[in-house]
């Protein structure tokens, strides 16, 4: 138990003082700079198409950002660009990037909005839309909230676990959030944001709490505060974050949190003060790895080979407010 770079007593003392594996959260800084640059690109795309960086016509984006069509073009998670969706074929027409009329008077097919040269009669397969939404944001409000959480909570996790494990955690959680959302969110609504990845880093704080319960100062109080924070985070998931008032990211949050628990259990550095504790931790780690792989395989397979709604008809309500404008979450 005293093996490692320094004695157990010193590791415990450093843990209590909040000293992690590294001083600077370099991955968080790099991700933040990249996301800000990508957001500027989104605004430029919208400005070239509509004349203004923020979309006000034909629909006002409540997050103060690009239009829905622009988000699809730059890489939002949008199932009709990723597979054949019977209710939303690639020939269906939506407002073009440069449309500002209400009702729309400039229509483009989904194939045209998906970009990248179209599909040329083949099945849509822009699989990379599970990844690119992590770097995209729906508007100034959206990116401000996410970057605040990323530069505080996520940065602290990177300092604790190191850049290598954090990198794997961040993208595993972010991509899985999009996989889960792609399965059960509305197929006709684009989705963007790093929220799933950030929720994955927040999940690691729960791993930290329960594995170091006897080391941390006043863990019961910390549990209460973290519970309140999680409830607030879930509530924020019901705030519209796209051009439509019913576009929500709750499933991405849930998916990111679940995968964050599994990957965090595997990679977060745990201080074991007894052999029994160490065996329990490794038992959870050995279970977490195959479970994470199984979840990925099952949900990706379900996305491409079956009707996800048939597996969980009520899941759509986790990311949708039932309104007449979206046929009560049937769209």
Task: Just list the catalytic residues.
Answer: 195, 253
Residue 13 CB neighbour total at 10 angstroms: 13
Which residue, chain included where needed, has tokens 């973290």? 226
Residue 59 and residue 62: Cα distance in Å, rounded?
Answer: 9
DSSP string computed for 111-166: HHHH-TT--TTSPP--GGGGTGGGG--SSHHHHHHHHHHIIIIIHHHHHHH-HHHH
- What does the angle CA 192 – CA 121 – CA 297 come to, to the nearest 5 degrees? 50
The distance between the two most distant Cα atoms of the chain, rounded to a whole number of Å, is: 71
Residue 54 CB neighbour total at 10 angstroms: 17
CB 119 within 8 A of CB 47: no
DSSP class of residue 77 equals: B
SS in 3 state form for 250-306?
HHHHHHHHHHHHHHHHHHCCCCCCCHHHHHHHHHHHHHHHHHHHHHHHHHHHHHHHC
């Amino acid at each position: 138990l005293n093996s490692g770079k320094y004695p157990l007593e010193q590791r415990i003392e450093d843990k209590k003082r909040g000293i992690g594996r590294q001083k600077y959260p370099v991955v968080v800084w790099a991700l933040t700079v990249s996301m800000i640059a990508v957001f500027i690109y989104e605004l430029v795309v919208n400005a070239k198409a509509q004349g203004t960086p923020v979309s006000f016509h034909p629909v006002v984006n409540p997050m103060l950002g690009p239009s829905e069509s622009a988000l699809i073009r730059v890489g939002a998670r949008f199932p009709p660009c990723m597979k054949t969706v019977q209710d939303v074929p690639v020939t269906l027409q939506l407002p073009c990037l440069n449309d500002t009329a209400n009702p729309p008077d400039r229509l483009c097919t989904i194939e045209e909005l998906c970009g990248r040269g179209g599909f040329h009669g083949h099945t849509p397969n822009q699989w990379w839309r599970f990844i690119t939404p992590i770097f995209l944001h729906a508007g100034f409000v959206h990116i401000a909230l996410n970057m605040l959480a990323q530069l505080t909570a996520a940065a602290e996790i990177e300092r604790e676990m190191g850049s290598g494990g954090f990198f794997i955690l961040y993208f595993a959680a972010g991509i899985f959030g999009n996989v889960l959302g792609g399965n059960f969110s509305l197929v006709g609504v684009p989705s963007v944001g790093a929220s799933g990845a950030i929720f994955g880093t927040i999940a690691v704080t729960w791993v930290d709490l329960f594995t170091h319960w006897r080391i941390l100062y006043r863990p019961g109080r910390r549990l209460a505060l973290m519970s309140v924070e999680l409830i607030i985070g879930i509530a924020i998931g019901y705030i519209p974050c796209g051009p439509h008032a019913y576009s929500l990211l709750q499933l991405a949050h849930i998916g990111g949190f679940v995968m964050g628990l599994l990957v965090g259990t595997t990679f977060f550095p745990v201080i074991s003060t007894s052999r029994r504790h160490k065996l329990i931790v490794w038992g959870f780690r050995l279970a977490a790895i195959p479970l994470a792989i199984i979840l990925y395989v099952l949900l990706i397979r379900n996305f491409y080979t079956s009707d996800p709604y048939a597996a969980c008809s009520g899941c759509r309500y986790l990311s949708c407010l039932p309104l007449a404008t979206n046929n009560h979450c049937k769209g």
